[in-house]
Structure 1
Amino acid sequence: MKYVALLRGINVGKNNRIEMKSLKSLFETHGYGNVSTYINSGNVIFESNKPPELLVTEIESGLREKTGANISVLVKTVDQLAQIAAQIPDNWKNDTEQRTDIAYLFDKADTEESINELPIRREFLDVRYTAGALIWNVKRENYNKSQLNKIIGHRLYQYMTIRNVNTARHLAGL
């Protein structure tokens, strides 16, 4: 089965720096096939016959041994990512006028109620739930008003890993 591992919080600022070459090697060490990475934000594409729960355990353990850091990993099938991406309206993108992000949800936060818990001002953005993710679009002029930046301090933030719409669409098309 073809999977994508979404690593949470790597290569953001100076924290949890991991070279993609090293990350690829770690996955190959576990016996995963056809390993590749996409951009420098912790997206690893690979094949395995193991169940996702076991993959998460192996990958997180390997990352801890290699880096000393506790890095959360979300494993999705390419089909799951395609189902999520299919829910993104075609006119939602990243450009000078708007910003679109996908917050892939870990099981503890994978519920439609997550939207209501976030400290955002929904009148300034469009946010939608689909199984496995929250998808939002905000006009750049309203970004600060939307208070999206307050998500970082919220308890749910630890149960999501965020990618921009371009990355989400690329991963869905694998």
Structure 2
Amino acid sequence: MEYVALFRGLNAGGKSTVKMAELTKAVSELGYEKARSYLPSGNIIFETDEGSKTVTRTLEDLVLEHFKIETKIVVKSCHQLTRIVAEMPGEWENRKDLRRRVVFIREPVTPDDVLREVETREGIDFIEAGSGVLYMSTLMTALTRSWFTRLITKPIYKELTIRDYGTVLRILELMACR
């Protein structure tokens, strides 16, 4: 089965720096096949017969042992990512006036758990729940007035990893399931 591992906080703001070539090599050495990275923010695509929970634990242990970084990972199969893209808000395809982000949520946390913590500003911030994700968008002309920035102050933020809409589409394109 093909998966993407979305690493939380790698190479963000000069912290938790990991070279993607080294991470990809380490993932391959675990026996995961066709490992490849996309962008330096911690997106690794690979194939394995292991289940996603086992893969998640294995990769979190790998990063801790090999790179001395404690990180949380969200692992999605090709079919799960296909569903997430299919469920994206319809207006995202045509609206260029929005910053569009997909919030991947680490189990056992649910979209409803996160929604209880998120504050939005009417007419500026928009949010919808999907299959293990939230779709967050903000008017580009009002980014500095968004309340989504308050999410980083919440404890639940540590259970999330966020990707740009275009990044999610590109990752799915790189996966073989389409």
TM-score range, shorter chain: over 0.9
Q: Counterpart of 2:143 in 1: which secondary structure?
A: helix
Paired residue type of 1:53: K
After TM superposition, list the pairs within 5 Å mapping 1:88-103 onto structure 2: 88-92=88-92, 97-103=97-103
CA contact (8 A) 2:24 2:36 kept: yes
Paired residue type of 1:87: E
Partner Cα distance (2:145, 2:94) in 1: 18
Q: Counterpart of 1:46 in 2: which secondary structure?
A: strand
Paired residue type of 1:167: T
Moved more, 126-135 or 109-118: 109-118
Partner Cα distance (2:116, 2:17) in 1: 33
Partner Cα distance (1:122, 1:53) in 2: 37
Percent identical among aligned pairs is 25
After TM superposition, list the pairs within 5 Å mapping 1:101-120 onto structure 2: 101-120=101-120
Give a deviation string over 1:100-134, Cα, whole Å, max 9, x none: 00000011322334223213334422100001100
Structure 1: stretches of 5+ with no match in the other structure? none
The answer as to 2:168 corresponding to 1:159 is no
Q: Counterpart of 2:71 in 1: which secondary structure?
A: coil
Structure 2: stretches of 5+ with no match in the other structure? none
Paired residue type of 1:152: I
Partner Cα distance (1:125, 1:87) in 2: 18
Give a deviation string over 1:23-67, Cα, whole Å, max 9, x none: 111101100001110111100000000111111111111111111
Paired residues, number? 174
TM-score (norm: length of structure 2): 0.90
CA contact (8 A) 2:7 2:72 kept: yes
After TM superposition, list the pairs within 5 Å mapping 1:18-57 onto structure 2: 18-57=18-57
Paired residue type of 1:114: V
Paired residue type of 2:124: F
- Corresponding position of 1:68: 68
Partner Cα distance (1:15, 1:93) in 2: 33
Paired residue type of 1:118: V
CA RMSD of aligned residues (A): 1.8
Paired residue type of 2:52: P
CA contact (8 A) 1:79 1:172 kept: no
